[in-house]
Amino acid sequence: MAQSLLLTPLLSIAGLIATSIAGFLAAPGHDAQHIFFALATVVLGLFSQSMTMFFFIGTGKEIKEKAGGDDVVVQRTKQFKARVFPAATYAMLVLMVTFIMGGGVRGGLTPHWLHLTLSVATVVLYARAYWLEIRAMDENAKLMERYLGE
């Protein structure tokens, strides 16, 4: 499960880059490929981050139950969430704003530079979230092995 949760943000980052390239290569009025890539990337990106958050909620609850109220374990699971949740939330938020502003560019209401800046910010925030998620999942796996291993 955790492996797929680490794969989907990478695919999201690759989708963001592919979407950006398609946007640069699109001739005015012929940007259907860019729009299609953007839609698929937004769906995958939102799915990947929200599922990662649910993973930490679920495994944290299981670990806390098996640990029997050990304060150190409870604190560590809270630390995972405190690191991952804000990064994942901001990544999803900027992804949605970028997508919406892309519609504004298509309609001539949003400047290209704003959409481009948001695209770069989205890639950076997804990369940052991915880095934090990898480290948190590694620590979480150690706790799961200790308390949930049969």
> Among residues of the chain, what percentage have pLDDT more than 70?
99
pLDDT attached to residue 117: 97
Predicted confidence (pLDDT) per residue in 78-97, tens digit:
898 999 999 999 999 999 99
Rounded to whole angstroms, how far apart are CA atoms 46 and 87? 13
Predicted confidence (pLDDT) per residue in 108-125, tens digit:
999 999 999 999 999 999
Count Cα neighbours of 140 within 13 Å in the Cβ-side half-sphere: 28
Distances (CA, A) of 126 to 25, 32, 36, 42, 48: 23, 24, 20, 12, 10
pLDDT attached to residue 150: 56
Q: Which residue is it, tokens 């259907």? A: 32
pLDDT attached to residue 1: 65
User: Looking at the predicted structure, is the pLDDT value of residue 38 above 90?
Assistant: yes
Global confidence as pTM:
0.90
